[in-house]
Chains A and B, each alone.
Chain A
Amino acid sequence: MIRCEGVTYVYQRGTPFEATAIEDVSLEIAAGDAVGIIGATGSGKSTLVQHLNGLLRPTAGRVYLDDVDINAREVDRRRVRQQVGLLFQYPEHQLFEETVTADVGFGPRNLGLGPDEVRHRTARALAHVGLDPAVFGPRSPFTLSNGEMRRVAIAGLLAMEPRMLILDEPTAGLDPASRREILDHIMRLRSARGLTIALVSHSMDAVARLCRRVIVLDRGRVVAEGATRDVFADPGRLAALGLGVPQVAECARLLRERGVPVRPDVLTVDEARRAILDALAGRRPAPKNVP
C-alpha cells in the first residue's frame, strides 16, 4: 500500500524560478488496486508519481510504502525503487545500454540475479511487449521506432517484477493492438500477482480500461477522486479541467443534449451500444445493469 500525506513539492526553491508543482496532496493506493491519475499538462502528475518511488523527495509531507516513510534516513531508497517500478513519461530518458537485451536486463542484474535468470526474465519481458528477442535483442535502443522504444522501456520495468507499477503515459506511441495487449497483460499481472498500479494518462480510454478509481489533479492539487465511472459521468467538469472523456461517453453526452435519454456513465463501445439501444426502445435501464 502507498500513501501520500500532505505532499508538497517546490521546484528550484529559493530561486526566482521557484514553482510549486504539487501542493498538499494526500492519497492512498491500496495493494492490488489500479488507480488512474489524470489532469491537464502541468497539473503535477509526473511530479507526483516520482514521489511514489522516492525519486523526488517532498518539500513537505510524507510518502509511506506499507507504513514505512520511504524518505526516512534508514530506508534504502534503492530497494524502494525495486519494489515500485516507474515508467517515465519519456522512455528514451530511461534507455541507456548499448543493446536492447542489455537494457532490459539492467534492472534484474541490479537485483543481483544470476545470468540465467536475467536472460530468462529479459526474453520473457520482451515477448510480453510483443518484441521478438532474437530480432530486437541485439539492436541499439536508439535506433528503434517510437513505439518500439517505449515497449523496451516497459519490458525493462516488467523484468524487475516490482510489486507496484507506476506508469506515466505508457500507451503514448503504441499502436492500437499493442495498446490493448500491454494493458491486458498488466491487468493479468494485477489479478495473478496482486500487482498495484498507478496509471498517469491522457488517454481516457486507457484509464477507463485499466482503472477502477481515478484521481484528478488540477494545478498541483487533488480536485476530484472517485470511481472511474462516476468521474467520467461528468464530462462538463472534466472539459473545464482541460480533460476529456472516452469518445463513446462524449457521444452519450451529445445524445442527451439532443434529447435522447441515454445513461451518462458509459465507458466502452459495448456499454454505449446497450445504453443507446435501451434509450431507443424506451427502456429505462436498471441503475446497475452495466457490469
Chain B
Amino acid sequence: MSDRAPALIRVRGLSHTYEPGAGEPVPALRGVDLDVHRGECIALIGGNGSGKSTLAKHLNALLLPTAGEVIVDGLDTRDRDAVWAVRQRVGMIFEHPDDQLIAAVVEEDVAFGCENLGLPPTEIRSRVDEALRTVGLEALRRRPPHLLSGGQKQRVAIAGVLAMRPRCLVLDEATSMLDPAGQREVMETVLRLRDEGLALVLITHSMEEAALADRVVVLAGGTVALSGTPSDVFARDDVLRRLRLEAPPIVALARGLAAAGVPLPPGLLTAPQLADAVAAAYRRGRGGA
C-alpha cells in the first residue's frame, strides 16, 4: 500500500538453504516477500517444516539470507556492523520458558539484555521497572524464575526483551507449552503491546490465536502460499486443508450454522463474536414468533 508508512521490516526474495553435515541440502525458504508494519500483529502459520522458524530467525539476523534481503528499520541484516542494532530492534521469544531464563531472580533476568547493551545502571534500572510494569510482574521482581508459572515465565522473557526497547517482537510458539490461563495471559500482554505500537510476528499452530491477528500469512514449502485478514484466510477451507491447516473451531461452527440457515454476519472469528451473533438471531426469532 503506497499510502502507508514504510514497513518496519522488509523481506524481499528471501531464500535460505540449510547445508546439514549429513544428507541433502534443505531449501527451507524460497523467495519470501513480507512487510511487517509498526503496530501490526502478523500471525505466521503453516505446516511443520514450512519454514516459519527459519523466517523468524532471519528477522533478527540469527540467520543470514542465502539469497534476497531482510531490511529492519533501514538496516540490512547482512551488514555485520548492524547485527546488534538489528537484534535490539527485533526481540525473540521461544517455546520453552525455562531455556530463556538464566538469572537467580526475575529482575536480574529482565536486566540481562540491557547489561549486554552496555547501558548505565540507572538507565537499566528504570527500563527494568518499566518493562516489569508493562507485563504486570512488579510484585514478583525478587522471585526466582523457577518458582513462577509458565505464563509468568514467558512474561519475564517478554519483559527482558522489552527492556531493550525493541520495535518488533517475534514469538515462535511462545504459548504452546502453557496452560490455557498462561496462553491467555501472554496473548493479552502482547496484543496490548501491539496496541501501543509494537509490531508482532506470532508463529503459532493454534488457529484460535491466529484469528486474533491483524493479518495472517501462510507459509508452505518455504513460500508464502496465502495471506490476508483472518476472516479472508480462514474462509479458504479447501486451500487450508491442502496446506495442513484448518479454520478455528468457531469459524467452522459459524459456517455450519450459516449453512443450516441461521442468519449470521460474515467474518465471525471468536467465541464472544459468535455468541453475540447467535444470541441476536435467537432474540429476533423469539420476537418474530
Question: Which A residues form the contact surface with B (CB < 8 A)?
Answer: 39-42, 89-90, 98-99, 138-140, 143-148, 151, 169, 172-179, 202, 204-205, 239, 242-244, 246-248, 250-251, 254-255, 257-260, 269-270, 272-273, 276-277, 279-280
Q: State whether B177 touches A276 (Cβ < 8 A).
A: no
Given contacts A260-B279, A280-B262, whether A174 and B249 have CB atoms under 8 Å apart is no
CB distance from B245 to the nearest CB of A (A): 5
Number of interface residues of B (CB under 8 A): 53
| Closest B residue by C-beta to A257 | B275
In the complex, what residues of B have CB within 8 A of residue A99's CB?
22
Q: Tell whether, in the assembled complex, residue A258 and residue B276 are in contact, meaning their CB atoms are under 8 Å apart.
A: yes
Cβ-defined contact, A174 with B205, below 8 A: yes
Q: Are A175 and B260 in contact (CB under 8 A)?
A: no
Q: Given the interface contacts A248-B253, A255-B275, does A277 sit within 8 Å of B260 by beta carbon?
A: yes
Taking a contact as CB atoms under 8 Å apart, the answer to whether A177 and B250 are in contact is no
Bound-state CA distance A139–B49 (Å) is: 13
- Can you name the residue of chain B whose Cβ is closest to the Cβ of A251? B271
Complex Cα gap A169–B177 (Å): 8
| A–B Cβ pairs within 8 angstroms, 8 of them | A42-B149, A89-B177, A173-B95, A173-B176, A176-B207, A176-B245, A247-B250, A270-B256
The answer for the CA separation of A179 and B176 in the assembled complex, in Å, is: 13
Contacts of B207 in A (CB 8 A): 176
Contacts A90-B96, A140-B21, A178-B244 known; A173 to B205 CB distance under 8 Å? yes
| Chain B residues within an 8 Å CB radius of A243 | 179-181
> How far, in angstroms, from A15 to B256 measured CA to CA in the complex?
57
**Of A41, A169, A259, A270, most B-chain CB atoms within 10 Å:** A41
CB neighbors of A among B150-186 (8 A):
150-151, 173, 176-184
Are A177 and B23 touching (Cβ within 8 A)? Answer: no
Q: Chain B's nearest CB lies how many Å from the CB of A13?
A: 17
Known: A146-B53, A251-B271. 15 other contacts (CB 8 A): A139-B20, A139-B23, A147-B49, A147-B205, A173-B205, A176-B244, A178-B244, A243-B179, A247-B248, A248-B250, A250-B271, A258-B275, A269-B253, A273-B253, A276-B278
Bound Cα distance A248, B252 (Å): 10
Q: Is the beta-carbon distance between B18 and A40 smaller than 8 angstroms?
A: no
Please report the C-alpha to C-alpha distance between residue A177 and residue B252 in the assembled complex, in whole angstroms. Answer: 15
B151 touches A279 (CB 8 A): no
Neighbour of A254 across the interface among B249, B272, B281, CB < 8 A: B272
Could you tell me the distance between the alpha carbons of A147 and B278 in the complex, rounded to whole angstroms? 36
In the assembled complex, how far is the CB of residue B184 from the closest CB belonging to chain A, in whole angstroms? 8
A86 to B252, CA, bound (A): 34
- Determine whether the beta carbon of B249 is less than 8 Å from that of A248: yes
Interface status of B47 (Cβ within 8 A of chain A): yes
Given A140-B20, A247-B271, A280 and B278 contact (CB-CB distance below 8 Å): yes
A38's closest neighbor in chain B, by CB? Answer: B179
Against A, the Cβ 8 Å flags (1 = close, 0 = not) of B214-238 are 0000000000000000000000000
Give 3 closest A-B pairs by Cβ, nearest first. A147-B48, A244-B180, A254-B275
The reply to whether B257 and A41 form a contact with Cβ atoms under 8 Å apart is no
In angstroms, Cα B279 to Cα A247, docked, is 17
Residues from chain A with a CB closer than 8 A to the CB of B205 are 147, 173-176, 179
Give the residues in chain B near A169, CB-CB below 8 Å.
Answer: 177
CA distance A251 to B96 in the complex (A): 30
Residues of A within 8 A of B271 (CB): 247-248, 250-251, 254
Compute how far the CA of A250 lies from the CA of B248 in the bound complex, rounded to whole angstroms: 13
B138 at the A interface (CB under 8 A): no
Question: Which residue in A89, A140, A145, A177 is a CB contact (below 8 Å) of B53?
Answer: A145
In the assembled complex, B84 has its CB within 8 A of some CB on chain A: no
Of B49, B96, B149, which is within 8 A of A41 by CB?
Answer: B149
- The answer to whether A242 touches B180, judged by C-beta atoms less than 8 angstroms apart, is yes
Asked whether, in the complex, the Cβ of B181 is within 8 Å of the Cβ of A251, the reply is no
Residue in A closest to B47 when the chains form the complex, CB atoms: A175
Q: Which residues of B contact A280 (CB under 8 A)?
A: 262, 278, 281-282, 285
Residues of A within 8 Å of B279, CB to CB, are 255, 258-260
Chain A residues near B272: list those with CB within 8 A.
254
B48 adjacent to A151 (CB under 8 Å) = yes
The yes or no answer to B274 lying at the interface (CB within 8 A) is yes
Assess A143 versus B249: contact at CB under 8 Å? Given A202-B180, A277-B262, A279-B282. Answer: no
A269 touches B252 (CB 8 A): yes
Question: Is the CB–CB distance between A260 and B282 below 8 Å?
Answer: yes
B108 within 8 A of A: no
Query: CA A251 – CA B278 in complex, angstroms?
Result: 10
B246 within 8 A of A: yes
With a cutoff of 8 Å between Cβ atoms, the chain A residues found around residue B145 in the complex are none
Q: In the complex, what distance in Å separates the CA atom of A277 from the CA atom of B180?
A: 28
Q: In the complex, what distance in Å separates the CA atom of A146 from the CA atom of B177?
A: 12
How close is A12's CB to chain B, nearest CB, in angstroms? Answer: 12
Residues of B close to A144: CB separation below 8 A: 49
Decide if B244 touches A205 in the complex (CB within 8 Å): no
Q: Contacts of A202 on B, CB cut-off 8 Å? A: 177-180, 183
- Nearest residue (CB) in B for A247 is B249
Question: B208 an interface residue at 8 Å Cβ cutoff?
Answer: yes
When distances are taken between beta carbons in the complex, the residues of chain A under 8 Å from B281 are 280
In the complex, B46 has a CB within 8 A of chain A: yes
Given A175-B46, A276-B278, A146 contacting B256 (CB threshold 8 A): no
The reply to whether A146 and B48 form a contact with Cβ atoms under 8 Å apart is yes
